[in-house]
């Protein structure tokens, strides 16, 4: 397998985690909270993949997420792509574990915010949703980002190792 298709293989490998998050959301359905992890999935690949690869990977994740949700087309995907460009251009930020955790929380929260704003745009009936709900949701997104980062990163790193993607330099 060439390293050129690494982004696609990685996306496929990440997909079970996304489904898992959906299932978890299912469990919490009655509380009307959603587990959002699409942003977290960007962190580990952004350290090692080439920029164009991480961009394609981010777009894939975004479109997968949007396909089943009523949001304006591309809003989450393009937000994730922007995040991927930023992360892969500023790798020093992801140098160590605290940096990655911080990035995971921030990216996840921002992507989740994009999703909610986009959704409010599409469904005007729901735009009256109290701010508290959004705040709570963002909080959950940040928390999920921190908790889920390590297992996801481990999976993704393992896949990338198998695909022969060069490891991230420890120091800039």
Nearest-approach distance from CB 32 to another protein, in angstroms: 4
**CA of 80: how far to CAs of 6, 145, 156, 164, 168, in Å?**
18, 14, 17, 24, 21
Residues at the site binding another protein, with contacts judged by CB under 8 A:
15, 19, 22-23, 25-26, 29-34, 51, 55, 63-64, 66-70, 73-74, 78, 81-82, 85-86, 89-90, 116, 119-120, 123-126, 128-130, 132-133, 136-137
- Minimum Å gap between C-beta 61 and another protein is 10
Q: Which is nearer to another protein, 78 or 146 (CB)?
A: 78
- Alpha-carbon distance of 148 to 141, in angstroms, equals 10
Residue (101 or 103) nearer to another protein, CB: 103
Cβ proximity to another protein: between 120 and 147 the closer is 120
d(C-alpha 92, C-alpha 88), whole Å:
9
Q: What b/e sequence results for 81-102 when a residue is b if at least 16 CB atoms lie within 10 Å of its CB, and e otherwise?
A: bebbbebbeeeebbeeeeebbb
């Amino acid at each position: 397998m060439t390293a050129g298709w690494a982004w696609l293989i990685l996306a496929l490998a990440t997909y079970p985690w996304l489904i898992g998050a959906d299932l978890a959301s299912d469990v919490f359905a009655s509380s009307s909270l959603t587990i959002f992890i699409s942003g977290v999935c960007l962190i580990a690949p952004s350290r090692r993949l080439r920029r164009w690869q991480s961009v394609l990977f981010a777009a894939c994740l975004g479109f997968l997420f949007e396909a089943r949700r009523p949001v304006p087309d591309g809003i989450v995907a393009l937000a994730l792509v922007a995040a991927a460009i930023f992360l892969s251009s500023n790798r020093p930020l992801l140098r160590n574990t605290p940096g990655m955790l911080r990035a995971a929380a921030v990216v996840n929260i921002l992507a989740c915010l994009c999703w909610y704003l986009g959704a409010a745009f599409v469904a005007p009936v729901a735009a009256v949703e109290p701010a508290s709900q959004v705040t709570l949701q963002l909080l959950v997104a940040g928390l999920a980002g921190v908790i889920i980062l390590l297992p996801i990163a481990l999976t993704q790193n393992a896949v990338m190792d198998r695909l022969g993607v060069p490891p991230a330099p420890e120091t800039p």
